[in-house]
Structure 1
Amino acid sequence: MKNRFTPAQARRLHLLTSFPLLSLLTLASPESRAETPTATDASLPAVVITANRTPTKLSDVIADVSVIDRAQIELAGQSSLIDMLSQQAGIQISRNGGYRSTTGLFLRGATSSQVIVLIDGVRIGSATSGGASIENIPLEHIERIEILRGAASALYGPDAVGGVIQIITREAESRQKISASIGAGSDGQKQANAAISGNVDSLAYSFAAATERADGFTVIVNPNASGFNADADSFKSTSFSGKLSSKISKEHQLSVSVLHSKTDYQFDSLPSPNPLKLTKLTSDAWSHATLNNVNAQWQAQWLPQWKSTVVVAQSDDKSVTEYFRMSDHAFAGTGKFNTQRQQASWQNDVSLGKDQLSFTLEQRKESVDSTTNYSVKERDLHAAVLSYGLQRGDWDGLAVVRHDYNSQFGSFNNWSLSGAYKFLPAWRLVGNAGTSFQAPSFNQLYYPGFGNTALTPQRNRSNELGVKYQEGAQSFSAIAYQNEVQGFINPSTNARSALATLRGLTLSAAWQIGATQYSASYDYADPRTKPNNLSLVRIARNTLNLNVQHQLQEVTLFGEFKLASEREDNNLSFNGRDTLGGYGLLNLGAKWTLTQNLSVLMRANNILDKQYALANTYSTPGRNLFVTLTWRN
């Protein structure tokens, strides 16, 4: 049977690859040596946006960037965005229990509040916690995900200490395409999705809807924890996305996109105050997380060399908790932490031969609506960014300067300088140096009993150096980095350290042999606070990822293997730390193309039924199976 993958498609496919399954099982055995890592460069499409804020050819990208494309997303089954990100180089996660419960993300040792998340170029997240609830973004609405590793405040502003994750929503197709899928699996999991896209005359459209639910499992495993209840904690999620774009003339295009997602999930906790005198066995706690994102863009080609993009957007991050008495559902209290961000930007890109000059103005207003009485509830941010991308034969460079004004903390200037040199036809030496800053979140400043109004922005200086190889479907990269954060604010204690040093090494590789694709990554991360030399909690020092995909006529076989070393976490009962054990996870799956329009996907996660923890006292899913039936026209 002829291989259905062209070399170009193979380069785009990233990660998921496959020994035949027998080889993968051998890899996972105790006697085997897992020496391989999760790929980056091989997954990149021909053009990426996030690296330079402008469409840039893969061959010209200097930064450490990887992409998850739609082909990979369609093999995810019931896996979440967080699950897919956790397979990527440089990313680790922590999770407070069930399938869609609150999740923390670490990128190059930086915490969730130090990573910017964008949807179609628009920043999302909470101004109170500082992080984005990406566990609340269903994969059905995503076309691709671009991950920029490394400090990027010069390009993207405050908080890009560890990097930037950009989510691009579903794009319109050249002809009308309709798809629908249903799925079911362990722990009462159920899914249903539908999407339609196409174009009529000059109007392109894309719409998608999704619903998901599960009976779940108990989110807390420690009986001594204050909220412990051995009941199963369920979740349900509904979401919708839409995108319209119109080319009103040869030079001008307008587009509007909308994303709405709401997730309700149970967790174990007691209200405070507690008017009904609930106990951990009588309390029924629910969290309601809502994301609304509206984005309007106008792209204008004023001259052959000059293109401008105007963006006006609003994002809402809503987090509401409700407590009930389990026996009769009597209401026992509520709390809300809602953030609204109003944003506008005007970006101008001027081509100067092969070089490119960009100038951007940005404005953002953050407002907090909460049952907690914050003494300050809003702030304004203004910025101007100037960048110059240079190409000179074997040399590539990018210089960026940025000025930010924060209504609470005043003005800040940041810069970055990146360069690459092709010393052999397929080999490049890459490097970057720059500065960034991070303003304290509203919780860090004003939360009762926790906040400290004397806190000032953290300042940091980053450096990285590496080598990249790319030839056809074969790629390799090795990147060493060090990021020194002055006046580091510990996110769990709000205590300030003189310095935090985030240092590490990322090795990535991808290759193809016949109809089998492989990708792998190894990460060494050693983030520490100074002068006490303590490791940052919930971050493993060593992680390995291996992904394999094999095409066998009408069947796609795939496997994912992850190995993580032990990590430390705070002990919630006393002022100390516990060690969370290392773990190995093996996921296997297969996709059968039954007819031209119908396919079945089966995914089995945590095949070895490993019991492990990503956060102290919280549980993680055991072995689980999910089957999806998909129809496409």
Structure 2
Amino acid sequence: MFNYKPLAALVALACAPAALAASVTQLDEVVVTATRVSTPVAKVLSDVTVLGREEIEQSGSLSLPEFLARQAAVEIYNNGGEGKSGGIYLRGTNSGHVLVLVDGMRIVSATAGSTSLQYIPLAAVERIEIVRGPASSLYGADAIGGVIQIFTKKGDGEPNVQTNVGVGSDGKRQVGAGISGKTGSTSYSLAFDHNQTNGFSATNSGVSYGYNPDRDGYDNTTYLASVQHEWAAGHSIGVTLYQTEAISEYDSSPDAQDEEHARLAGQSVELKDQLTGDWLSTLRYSHTDDRSISYTNGNFDQSDSTFETRQDEWLWQSDIQLAPGQQLTVGVSNVEQHVLSSTAFTTTSRSVNAAFAGYQGEFGAHRLQGSVRYDDNSQFGGKRTGQIGYGFVPAEGWLLRAAYGTAYKAPTFNDLYYPLSYGYQGNPNLKPEEATNRELAIDWRQGANFVKLTAFDNKIDNLIETTDDYSTVNNIGRARISGQTLETGSAFGVFSVAANLTSQRARDLDSGKLLKNRAKLFGGVTAGLQQARTRWTAEWRFSGRRPANSSNSEYLDGYGVVNLGADYQLNPHWTIGTRLTNIADKQYETAKGYNQAGRGWLLTARYSN
């Protein structure tokens, strides 16, 4: 059942910005990820958030995970600062329960089962779409908690040159440049970004092993390129190239340096054809690569381990306008995954063939959205998933909605086939994790002013857990995550404010314990003030105490972090920005034994012609 105890406090918080709301004209945002087609946010029957480039620049966030942690129902854990390993909890689900796409491509480790978000630089990101709740009926495995899609920069309009430089605390240096635009029927974008920091000690004395008080630096270089050409009216071809090379120092050896060398890359070719006035066909091929090489104990001549996932995907999708206000989406896909590793897995490849269909309909004040999908996985056979959503518009600007959906996650290669090593071995008999989710929501929007309150209840069966003696993994667990999220914001005159609050209870039903690293209450408030050429920003982000382990015998303290920023526009082309982060120098942990950044600063200069 839904837990409604915190709703009174959430509603009270929601009423304040709504009472201040003024009439502000704003273009309707659209979201692609929620339905696989461009749909106005106000008409989507899912819990979605759309974030643009302006919000990224004004946030002052140093990394993509840090920026995502500002959003409702998003928590992160980080093993020691920028570029360090970690994960993301979306609505309290595991980090492997979140599907991450980069321009529609899955860049994922099939051994670890998640995407290394810490290696995707914010400078390369133009737009982010977050869809909370199950989405396997559209995207297949892994989307139990939701989907995060990252869109890189694309060309449009007159040629535009952009550059940025920055320096900050802990020896941070960053530089980037790019050009984008459209000439005739061809749009293009080229970009480069380099980010480097000396860092700080990733670990403290609370870590169980490998404590080393040295600085743990980070170095990242990213290249982006895209070209789209419309060769006839309604017919186009597009090519997207993405590559990140990163070196991240970490603590595994107490007296020597350890490094991870990572590479994330993706290439795609996409054909879009408006076959008739009501039928749009999309055919896309993509190849992605996730590689990680570890060097330990100061030995950089011989790697300690290598893990690489190469993935090829073919997708064909048709979007058909059945009637005004009614649309059908159907498609098929094929995914081939290959693992190359220094670890001797008994199986190193798998394939998934899938077919899916989605429907959107508007009938006066009533709205209906649904999707179904069938995946045939070479490792564990077929899997069906579905989702249905109903919405009602009682008055302009209002939306009441309810949804039910199922999702699953396939076991990773590590879960299934990891060879016996240090007393641990994978389990080839594992079944996929399965989830059912219910949610209710009420949305109100008027221009730039909005209030959104969502209640969710997600049950996960066949939860894959490590046995108490750490000898293997089994389908022994069941989890239930229920809670509520509030998002609200207003703009009046030169002042804007936005806030979000998440109340949740994430627990293991077998043991009765809370899932580790998840807080019962967390959120934040962001405010902005525009004065002539200067925009001032302030952010407060907080989290309650969280269990540090599965037995709940230890807890991490709650924390609150305040960040301040200012952007000054020198002229139409140049903007100077400054950020003061964690101004109270709060010492806190998101994972036991791993440090987070103390008080810091960042100074940037951005140019756009």
Task: Give the alignment's TM-score, normalised by structure 1.
Answer: 0.89
Q: In the aligned structure 1, how far is the partner of 2:248 from the partner of 2:27?
A: 34
Q: In the aligned structure 1, how far is the partner of 2:447 from the partner of 2:61?
A: 32
Question: In the alignment, residue 532 of structure 1 is paired with which amino acid?
Answer: S
Residue 569 of structure 2 is matched in structure 1 by: 593
1:231 counterpart = 2:214: yes
Residue 626 of structure 1 is matched in structure 2 by: 602
Which of 408, 412, 431 in structure 2 is aligned with 1:437?
408
Q: In the aligned structure 2, how far is the partner of 1:44 from the partner of 1:214?
A: 38
Q: In the aligned structure 2, how far is the partner of 1:243 from the partner of 1:318?
A: 23
Residue 457 of structure 1 is matched in structure 2 by: 432
Which of 296, 308, 311 in structure 2 is aligned with 1:341?
311
Assess if the C-alpha contact under 8 Å between 1:593 and 1:599 holds in 2: yes
Deviations 1:111-147 (A, max 9, x none): 1111100111122211001100011111122110000
Residue 550 of structure 1 is matched in structure 2 by: 529
Q: Matched residue of 1:465: which SS?
A: strand
Which of 465, 481, 484 in structure 2 is aligned with 1:505?
484
Question: In the alignment, residue 314 of structure 2 is paired with which amino acid?
Answer: A
Q: In the aligned structure 2, how far is the partner of 1:609 from the partner of 1:495?
A: 42
Residue 3 of structure 2 is matched in structure 1 by: none
Q: In the aligned structure 1, how far is the partner of 2:260 from the partner of 2:130?
A: 28
Q: In the aligned structure 2, how far is the partner of 1:577 from the partner of 1:632?
A: 53
Residue 488 of structure 1 is matched in structure 2 by: 463
Assess if the C-alpha contact under 8 Å between 2:249 and 2:257 holds in 1: yes
Consecutive unaligned residues of structure 2, counting only runs of 5 or more, are 1-11, 18-23
CA 1:592 to 1:619, structure 2 compared with 1: closer, same or farther past 3 Å? same
Shift of 1:58: 2.3
Assess if the C-alpha contact under 8 Å between 1:140 and 1:208 holds in 2: no
Assess if the C-alpha contact under 8 Å between 1:36 and 1:521 holds in 2: no
Deviations 1:1-27 (A, max 9, x none): xxxxxxxxxxxxxxxxxxxxxxxxxxx
Residue 385 of structure 2 is matched in structure 1 by: 414
Deviations 1:410-463 (A, max 9, x none): 011111101110122222111110212211111111223142222111122111
CA 1:579 to 1:45, structure 2 compared with 1: closer, same or farther past 3 Å? farther
Question: In the alignment, residue 467 of structure 1 is paired with which amino acid?
Answer: I
Q: In the aligned structure 1, how far is the partner of 2:363 from the partner of 2:552?
A: 54
Residue 384 of structure 1 is matched in structure 2 by: 355
Which of 488, 494, 507 in structure 2 is aligned with 1:515?
494
Q: In the aligned structure 1, how far is the partner of 2:490 from the partner of 2:382?
A: 46
Assess if the C-alpha contact under 8 Å between 2:14 and 2:451 holds in 1: no
Q: How does 1:563-582 map to 2 (within 5 A)?
A: 563-570=542-549, 577-582=553-558
1:210 counterpart = 2:193: yes
Shift of 1:498: 4.1
Deviations 1:304-357 (A, max 9, x none): 0000101100111111101253xxx66464211111110110000100221001
CA 1:112 to 1:475, structure 2 compared with 1: closer, same or farther past 3 Å? same
Q: Matched residue of 2:55: which SS?
A: helix
Shift of 1:478: 0.8
Which of 107, 115, 122 in structure 1 is aligned with 2:90?
107
Consecutive unaligned residues of structure 1, counting only runs of 5 or more, are 1-33, 271-279
Q: Matched residue of 2:130: which SS?
A: strand
Shift of 1:251: 2.0
Q: Matched residue of 2:416: which SS?
A: helix
**Greater length-normalized contact order (CA 8 Å, ≥ 6 residues apart):** 1
Q: Matched residue of 1:476: which SS?
A: strand
Q: In the aligned structure 1, how far is the partner of 2:579 from the partner of 2:300?
A: 40
Q: How does 1:367-406 map to 2 (within 5 A)?
A: 367-406=338-377
Question: In the alignment, residue 412 of structure 1 is paired with which amino acid?
Answer: K
Residue 281 of structure 2 is matched in structure 1 by: 308
Residue 399 of structure 2 is matched in structure 1 by: 428
1:612 counterpart = 2:581: no
* Identity of matched residues, %: 31
CA 1:367 to 1:481, structure 2 compared with 1: closer, same or farther past 3 Å? same
1:121 counterpart = 2:110: no
CA 1:576 to 1:479, structure 2 compared with 1: closer, same or farther past 3 Å? closer
1:69 counterpart = 2:39: no
Question: In the alignment, residue 193 of structure 1 is paired with which amino acid?
Answer: G
Deviations 1:200-229 (A, max 9, x none): 222110111000111110000116632111
Deviations 1:7-59 (A, max 9, x none): xxxxxxxxxxxxxxxxxxxxxxxxxxx9679x9xx999521101111000223
Question: In the alignment, residue 230 of structure 2 is paired with which amino acid?
Answer: K
Assess if the C-alpha contact under 8 Å between 2:257 and 2:296 holds in 1: yes
Q: In the aligned structure 2, how far is the partner of 1:389 from the partner of 1:285?
A: 51
Question: In the alignment, residue 395 of structure 2 is paired with which amino acid?
Answer: L
Number of aligned residue pairs: give it.
581
